[in-house]
Amino acid sequence: MPQIAPLVAGDPGQLGSFRLTGRVGEGGQGIVYLGVNEQGERAAIKLLHVKFSGDTIARSRFARELKAAERVASFCTARVMEADLDGNTPYIASEYIDGVPLRDLVDDDGPLRGTALDRLAIGTATALTAIHHASIVHRDFKPDNVLIAADGPRVVDFGIARIVDSTGTITSRAIGTPAYMAPEQIAGDDVGPYTDVFAWGATIAFAATGVTVFEGSSIAVVLNRILNHEVDVSAMPEPLRSVVASALAKDPQARPTADQLLLRLLGQPDTSGASTAVLSRGAEVASDDTTPFTRVRTTLADRKPVTDPAPVPNVTTQPPAVSRGQAQLAELVNGPPPQEQPPPSPPVKPPAPKKRGKGPGRWIAVAVALLLLAAAAVLAVLNDWPWAFGAQPSSGGGNTQPGDFASVIDKVGQTGKLTIGVKGDLPGIGLGRDGSFQGFDVELAQRIARALGAKDVTYAQVGRFDRAASLKSGKVDLVVATYSVDPDEDVLFAGPYYVAHHDVLVRSGANVRTLQDLQGRRLCAPSSPSVANVQDRVKVEPVPADNYAQCMDKIKSGEVDAIPGEDLLLAGFANRETSLRFSVLGAKLNSQRYAVGIKRGDSRTCKAVSGVIAQLYTDGTVAKLLRKHFGNVDFAPELKAPLMEPCE
């Protein structure tokens, strides 16, 4: 574990909400401290050196580090917990990973073998895929930046990451550690995600052999070896051998993407990008060092460009025995009962097996096994069977219940079905009409369901106090319904998917631009804590109302001058008005985090949903939905991606 040094004279005792307890290390750009907040959470806090505090270039570089880290979904990476780049002591607090650098582990204990090596490769490929999905290039992927923690490998240090521009390349100067730099970095050519893939290959080769594969007595020797030396990967098992070999291709265009690395390591077809479910599966495999897993592997030797939209992979199996969720595949491998036949499938011609000197019986057995496995792979792709993701098969027929599955991810993978709880009484957010629902929450739920792979999505109205019971009973699988995070509730929260603020709605053009402009005016007063939030700050005349519909009638008639409430709620009611235009004042009296409710214990689904939400912010989907449902209101919603809740 990292050696934590004591604080020295001149070190700060507090940064933000974190009390500093020691020094983790120091680099050219700043000092890394260990800190703890009031909740007992530990963080690695990077403080910019005092000598750089007035350096606008250094601050700009530090700001890019923060943006990069915030955009990466937390699959096998360290999440950002807090940051301040504007004060006299700019810092970033990231999740503290109590782990050993991969380099130290290999130097002390020797090369990794078997399952440990497999899980390292899958975990780091998962992290790299998440990084690239956020349009980030790490640029310094190496054994020192891979920490081996109790829950698997974690990739850290985005200090020199750069945001990929619209061309998908980066033209700034090459940055990296010489022995893990790619040929294009050395040549001064464009650097991109493919550069990280090369460094990943060199890192995994180091872990498997215990030797820095491009080592040399001088930098010149190292660079020459990178440009001209082919790495010997023959000691690695398949499919790792082929994957690493392809990652170390000298030509960037010949390398697989990070998505393809992960898909091949998990035994999946790599003709499309890795979904959130695949990232979730990769993180799960990497974190579990006790349960054997089986893959259906694609042989990469002599691989040709894919032209068939539904290719048939050449598959083999790897011991140990089939893990949970792969009973169907095991039955195919071992042979079905005599009265059963495998489902019909397109004709498949298996590759010719190699001669092993075991006689014709051996040939027939191998051919039959390969035929069955190939058929299983084809059917899995065509029918979206979930065995490759470790999903548990249903114990019965078509009417399966959520309780039959280990997680919502498993249910979706097995059945394609998902039931989501939403509100049904809030315009613009979640409004039920003629048996269907519409609004911001509903469309956001649709995006989440689609990313999880659901093909059959139904909605059910769920009340605030019914959320935990509905999830526990299996009435719904998720709740996306602008209910705030409640730490005392027996619910696991993914997200937040939006940070709302208590605010005030006024008529546009009413000469009310700040909260103080409401002094002495009439305020609609429904049963809401937002009324007191306004009264604490300015003297107003409250006008009682039973609900927000009444408040809207009162403000349209001029009976009141303003309505307090959460900004989305206010914007939703005001957006449907066509004769008058309204404004959300922007007072932001306090914050309210809205997160997706999940049955407690389903951390796998929680991590997947949080990853989807982060991506929806990154690609602009959340901003588009907010404009769509609240565009008739003068309203500046919160568009900054929120800090994700820990899935614990």
Active site residues: 140
Degrees, nearest 5: CA angle 443-446-447: 95
For 387, other C-beta atoms within 10 Å of its C-beta total 24
Q: Copy the structure tokens of residue 475.
A: 């009435």
- Give the DSSP letter of residue 229: P
Scanning the structure block, which residue is given the tokens 């901003």? 623
Nearest to 212 by CA among 260, 252, 179: 179
Pairing of strands 162-163, 417-422: unpaired
Q: Backbone phi, then psi, for 34, in 5-degree steps? A: -100, 130
User: How much of the chain is in helix, strand and coil states, percent to nearest 5?
Assistant: 35, 20, 45
Mark residue 439 as left, alpha or beta (left: phi above 0; alpha: psi -120 to 50; beta: remaining). Answer: left
SS in 3 state form for 546-571? Answer: CCHHHHHHHHHHCCCCEEEEEHHHHH
Residue 137: its H or E element: strand 136-137
Scanning the structure block, which residue is given the tokens 């959340």? 622
How many whole angstroms separate alpha carbon 571 and alpha carbon 453?
Answer: 31
Cβ-contact 121, 240 below 8 angstroms: yes
How many whole angstroms separate alpha carbon 1 and alpha carbon 34?
Answer: 13
Cβ-contact 153, 146 below 8 angstroms: yes
Q: Copy the structure tokens of residue 358.
A: 């075991």
